[in-house]
Amino acid sequence: MNPVQRLLPRPLQIVLTVLLLATVGAPVGYVFLASINTDLAVAAGEFWPEQFSFANYARIWSTVPLGRGLANSLLVAGTVALACAVVAVLSAYVLVRHAFRGRRTVLRALLGMQSIPGTLLLLPVFVLFATIGNTLGVPTIGTRWSLFVTYLTFGLPFSTWIMVTYLRALPDELTEAARIDGAGTAQILLRIVIPLSWPGLVVAAIFAFLLGWNDVLFASVMTDVDTRTAAVVLQVFGTGQEGGAIPPYGQMMAAALVCAAPVVTLYLAFQRYIVGGLTAGGVK
């Protein structure tokens, strides 16, 4: 018998599942229905549209620079996810498989860095990049690479800790046997560690991707009109409709769903690896 079935009776499982699905699905359903409704009907509190129309999904591409924002988000968040996964697995391999002075300090520092609120670092990061730009005479503020470095700084500690937890669960005998057969460190990483670490790598990459995709705070001050991410475009679109006539609720809801679609697709595509990576190291 399934452990969950032993813990809860079948009828209670069904009730809890329905309540959970309703709690999660009700807001998403309302956003979708509002996106295919008229602005006047949404403002009047109408839940079910009298006539279904997907015109809002066509209008958002000309009302706001959503396409450019999505492209910037995919470029920045995608490169951050790839860089975090690669650097994290290399760093975690050194921290797990090699003993050296200060190793525990580094591991504790990785956890300690997660407790620092990003809001406190907004001004120092901005001043740092502005100073570098003025000193070297290169553009920094308003560029994608500055946003990439910022997200990489915040994403690497968590991604590295995920890979440390995952690599600890891999048997040492695998790498020892490879070394006996004459394999070098690079061969061990490419042929043994990385193929066996796909769930951990996917989790590290997805969390780094979400960091870059959902961030509004740093992206709002580190980008300009041409380099704004999708989250900033949505924020500007929402705040720019305050006052005056009825805001374009339908277009705002449609834009929100379009921006959420890549993340949902990512989760659905890699959910098997996500579950395996998050539960790695839980059983010793």
For 152, residues 6+ apart whose C-beta sits below 8 A from its C-beta are 80, 83, 84
Q: Does the pLDDT value for residue 11 go beyond 50?
A: yes
Question: How many domains are contained in the chain?
Answer: 1
- pTM for the model stands at 0.85
* Kind and range of the H or E run holding 13: helix 10-35
pLDDT for 34-43, tens place per residue?
Answer: 999 888 888 8
Report whether pLDDT(12) > 50. Answer: yes
The pLDDT of residue 109 is 86
CATH code of the domain containing 242: 1.10.3720.10
Q: Would the pLDDT of 2 be above 80?
A: no
Q: How far apart are CA 191 and CA 185, in angstroms?
A: 10
Select the more confidently predicted residue: 240 or 164. 164
From CA 37, how far away is CA 250, in angstroms rounded? 6
pLDDT in tens, 71-128: 999 999 999 999 999 999 999 988 888 888 888 888 888 888 877 888 888 999 999 9
Task: Report yes or no on 199 lying in a domain.
Answer: yes
* Distance from C-alpha of 253 to C-alpha of 257, rounded to nearest angstrom: 6
Could you tell me the two tokens for 129?
């990049």
For 125-151, what is the mean pLDDT?
Answer: 91
Range of the domain at 156: 65-278
Decide if 251 contacts 63 (C-beta within 8 A). Answer: yes
Q: Is the pLDDT of residue 282 over 50?
A: no
> What is the model's pLDDT at position 8?
73
Within-domain flag for 7: no
Q: Would you say residue 98 lies in a domain?
A: yes
The tens digit of pLDDT for each residue in 198-235 reads 888 888 899 999 999 999 999 999 998 899 999 999 98
The answer to whether residue 30 is domain-embedded is no
Helix (H) / strand (E) element for 16: namely helix 10-35
